[in-house]
Amino acid sequence: MPSKGPVLRRALTLGEVVLFGLAYMTPLIVLGIFGIVSETTGGATAAAYALALVAMLFTAFSYGKMAAVYPIAGSAYTYVRRTIDARAGFLVGWAVLLDYFFLPMVIWLIGSAYLSAQFPAVHPWVWIALFITVTTLLNFVGIKIAARVNLLLMTFQITVLLFFVLLSVGYVAGSWGPAALFDLAPFDNRATTVSGVAAGAAIAAYALLGFDAVTTLAEETVEPERTIPRAIMLTALAGGLIFVVVAYFTQLVHPGGFFEDSSSAAFDLARLIGSSLFSAVFLAGLVVAQFASGLAAQASTSRLLYAMGRDGVLPRKVFGYLHPRCRTPVFGLVITGAAGLIALWLNMATSTSFINFGAFTTFAFVNLSVIAHYVRERRAGRAPGVVQYVLLPAIGAGVNLWLLSRLDAHAVTLGLIWLGLGVIYLAYLTRMFRRPPPDLEFAEEAPVTAGIGHDPRPLR
């Protein structure tokens, strides 16, 4: 029968999908959190990113398998709900909400750290309040930026990274000779420990979050069952290699993990390897990219809260309300902005780890959903490969749980409290688990509202 309305056009190729995924990951994030990772690892930042890359490739593989089974705008919530249990799926969705809800907070915190480094006389809370106020007002009036801005910002980010690496190479070669460019200290040095690298990888994985975003393009991609799984792996691999390379040369410029202010270390290094002009351009690039990302993050989060309110998962009168003239989820915007004030009491290590708690929990369940799918297929008389559907996902789940255990203790505590609230809320919605949980409809096809095109993480 003919379609009742317009449908999405399948036109995206593998390369286009991978480019979207890389834009979603935001390459500049590697410099935004460089000091924190370097301090945690004792100067072995490249090792932390390499470990995080390996860990994420296992999960990317599992996402690919699930995307092939459900070639729609996939999500961890859908995978777990359909393969394991509706209640487990709800709690995974709750963990995903943690990422969305607190991502703007992390963005504003990192932005204030870099601005405070340049303008120490201004208290960080001023920058945080300014970020929150401006982005909330812009999102309230419904501002939209064309999708082409994504390509412009992606080009700008890659250009900044390229110049940063080239200047780093010139600085290292000029200071210690060309042979210093092949020093393995960013992977292993006297201060390197397994626990330190693991803790650093738990933070560095934050930069790799977003490789799964390409699943949202499944309905607009040519041969999605084949293209999307490949795009997920290629996005994670390409993004991870960029981070390892940038971290390696940046660490050569500053051996060791001691900084005057680790939260804004990259800005000080930009001033060291380049002129005052380059450091100013670098700071401007970080702040502008981060502001655009914060705009997108808050818009996406408020839209998610609105969808949940509209469907009755959250109180409809509050979260399901749209401003009659601007047609924006005003209460969701205000609540997200208010949550950003929590940044006043958190540091960068704790805040990024807090976000990673939700990510690692979600990733572990995605891996387990592949194993659950294998069990169902076996019961149905089909026999998918044990290595691909059991062994590799089991390793992926184990690695994610291990990284989760290496997170900042305060972040783990906050994450467990968040999950505990989810269990209590689920008990309320299901009348003490006597009814099936509501169906969370995550609106992953979030409209383009600002620059980075995704993932609203710092620099984001």
Cα–Cα nearest to 359, from 36, 63, 150 = 63
Distance of CA 187 to the CA centre of its chain: 24
Residue 448: is its pLDDT beyond 60? no
Average pLDDT over residues 398-421: 88
13-35 pLDDT per residue, tens: 888 788 777 766 778 888 888 99
Amino acid 142: pLDDT: 56
41-57 pLDDT per residue, tens: 999 999 999 999 998 99
Amino acid 414: pLDDT: 85
Axis-axis angle for helices 276-310, 265-273 (nearest 10): 150
Here the tokens at position 8 are 């999405």
Contact yes or no for 227/17 (Cβ under 8 A) = yes
Task: Find the distance separating the first CA and the last CA of the chain, reported in whole Å.
Answer: 43
Which of the pair, 131 or 449, is modelled with greater confidence? Answer: 131
Q: Which residues contact 80 (CB under 8 A, 6 or more apart)?
A: 88, 89, 92, 365, 366, 368, 369
221: phi then psi, degrees, rounded to nearest 5: -110, 140
Amino acid 449: pLDDT: 35
Average pLDDT over residues 85-102: 81
Amino acid 216: pLDDT: 60
pLDDT band per the 50, 70, 90 thresholds, residue 218:
low
- Where is 152: in which H helix or E strand? helix 148-176
Summary mean pLDDT of the chain: 80
Give the C-alpha distances (Å, rounded to integers) separating 366 from 221, 393, 446. Answer: 22, 8, 22
Here the tokens at position 31 are 């410099």
Distance, in Å, from the CA atom of 340 to the CA atom of 417, rounded to the nearest integer, reads 18
Residue 213: is its pLDDT beyond 80? no
Amino acid 188: pLDDT: 92
Amino acid 392: pLDDT: 94
**Percentage with pLDDT > 70 across the chain:** 84
How many C-beta neighbours within 10 Å does residue 98 have?
22
pLDDT band per the 50, 70, 90 thresholds, residue 121:
confident
Residue 11: is its pLDDT beyond 80? no
Concatenate the DSSP letters of all residues of 14-54 into one string: HHHHHHHHHHHH-TTHHHHTHHHHHHHHTS-HHHHHHHHHH
Find tokens 């890359």 and name the residue. Answer: 53
Amino acid 153: pLDDT: 65
Amino acid 217: pLDDT: 65
How many C-beta neighbours within 10 Å does residue 322 have?
15
Most confident range (mean pLDDT) of 122-136, 354-368, 435-449 is 354-368
- Where is 330: in which H helix or E strand? helix 330-340
Which of 212-226, 274-288, 324-338, 431-445 has the lowest average pLDDT? Answer: 431-445
284-321 pLDDT per residue, tens: 777 776 776 677 667 767 776 776 777 677 787 887 77
pLDDT band per the 50, 70, 90 thresholds, residue 350:
confident
Half-sphere exposure of 40 (CA within 13 A, CB side): 30
Q: Which residues contact 92 (CB under 8 A, 6 or more apart)?
A: 76, 77, 80, 81, 361, 362, 365
Concatenate the DSSP letters of all residues of 361-393 into one string: HHHHHHHHHHHHHHHHHHHTT----HIIIIIHH
Residue 4, amino acid: K
Amino acid 71: pLDDT: 66
Distance, in Å, from the CA atom of 67 to the CA atom of 228, rounded to the nearest integer, reads 7
Average pLDDT over residues 436-445: 58
Find tokens 């930069």 and name the residue. Answer: 207
Contact yes or no for 354/411 (Cβ under 8 A) = yes
Distance, in Å, from the CA atom of 181 to the CA atom of 172, rounded to the nearest integer, reads 7
